[in-house]
Amino acid sequence: MGRILLVEDERHDSASLLLGHLLGAGHEIERIGDGEAALERILGEPPALTLLDVVPPRIDGIRVLEKVRSHCNHPIIMLTGRSHEADRLLALDMGADDYVCKPFSPREVVARIQTVLRRHSQWRDSVARPSTAVRFDDPRGNACLEGQALTLTRRELLLLRALSRDPGRVFTRSKLLEAAFPEAFDVNERAVDGHIKNLRKKLAAAVPSHEWIRSVYGVGFSFAERPA
């Protein structure tokens, strides 16, 4: 199974009962009561699925949903006390995978989670994950961007490999640090920024008509394919 992120402000008996059913189904559970912290976790270290209340503090659930959908197709089920049709339609229209109102049946929620995870697994299997724009052409790792040769340092090459392997995924600086400095133990995460800056310049010089590496404030970076 996988790690389920539960994002809600208050602790409810129904949520505690749900946790027992999720654990029984083989999932790991992480609870966060703050929308901003949840957003950082989803984009930086995504769980298998997020159960998201509409009203966590600092950033509400709808805003979290909107920000996540602007970057990725992460599975999100809204789990909330708001049962009005307008609330459900808004969340579903903005990209929620499902909408469950409190009080709920824990067994039903577990079943809905399995359905959403299965649907996303089928979607991932049908989509080519690596970037189609970047090619690594020989054992030395020389790279091309849309047919344009790139002259990269070893660190830049390692960063591009990591980012382009999973377009749209937001990588934290710590993850990119692991990718570009695998042998270093005393390098600050901010070292990644300088290499990303230089890599961006080289990608822009090769193909200037698109922003290839995008920043997610407070989280990290992602590789952006051209729209289909």
pLDDT tens, residue by residue, 126-168: 454 677 899 886 545 678 999 999 999 888 988 998 899 888 8
Beta-sheet pairing, 213-216 with 76-80:
unpaired
- CA 176 → CA 11, 44, 163, 185, 206, distances in Å? 35, 11, 8, 13, 22
89-108 mean pLDDT: 88
- Residues 29, 22: contact at Cβ < 8 Å? yes
Q: Which residues pair with 214 in a beta bridge?
A: 222
Q: Which of 6-20, 99-113, 159-173, 214-228 has the lowest mean pLDDT?
A: 6-20
Kindly report the number of other CB atoms within 10 A of residue 221's CB atom. 24
- Residue 99 corresponds to which tokens in the numbers above? 């909408």
- Residues 226, 133: contact at Cβ < 8 Å? yes
Q: How far is residue 196's CA from residue 173's CA, in Å, rounded to a whole number?
A: 10
210-214 mean pLDDT: 95
Q: Is the pLDDT of residue 71 over 90?
A: no
Side by side, the strands of the sheet bearing 171-172 are 171-172, 220-223, 213-216
Which pLDDT belongs to residue 47? 93
Q: Is the pLDDT of residue 21 over 50?
A: yes
pLDDT digits (tens, 9 = 90+) for 100-113: 988 888 999 999 99
Q: How confident is the model at residue 228 (pLDDT cuts 50, 70, 90)?
A: low
The helix or strand, by DSSP H or E, that contains position 145, with its residue range, turns out to be: strand 143-145
Which pLDDT belongs to residue 205? 96
Q: Which of 51-65, 100-114, 191-205 has the lowest mean pLDDT?
A: 51-65
Domains of the chain and any CATH numbers: 3-126 (3.40.50.2300), 134-223 (1.10.10.10)
Q: What angle do CA 10, 15, 18 make, to 5 degrees?
A: 165
Which pLDDT belongs to residue 128? 46
How buried is 198 (Cβ within 10 angstroms: 0-12 exposed, 13-18 middle, 19+ buried)? middle
Which pLDDT belongs to residue 102? 84
91-99 mean pLDDT: 87
Q: Which residues contact 106 (CB under 8 A, 6 or more apart)?
A: 14, 17, 18, 20, 21
Between residues 58 and 24, the one the model is more confident about: 24
Q: Which of 60-64, 106-110, 111-115, 181-185 has the lowest mean pLDDT?
A: 181-185
Mean pLDDT of the chain: 84
Q: How confident is the model at residue 184 (pLDDT cuts 50, 70, 90)?
A: low
Q: Is the pTM of this model over 0.85?
A: no
Q: How confident is the model at residue 84 (pLDDT cuts 50, 70, 90)?
A: confident
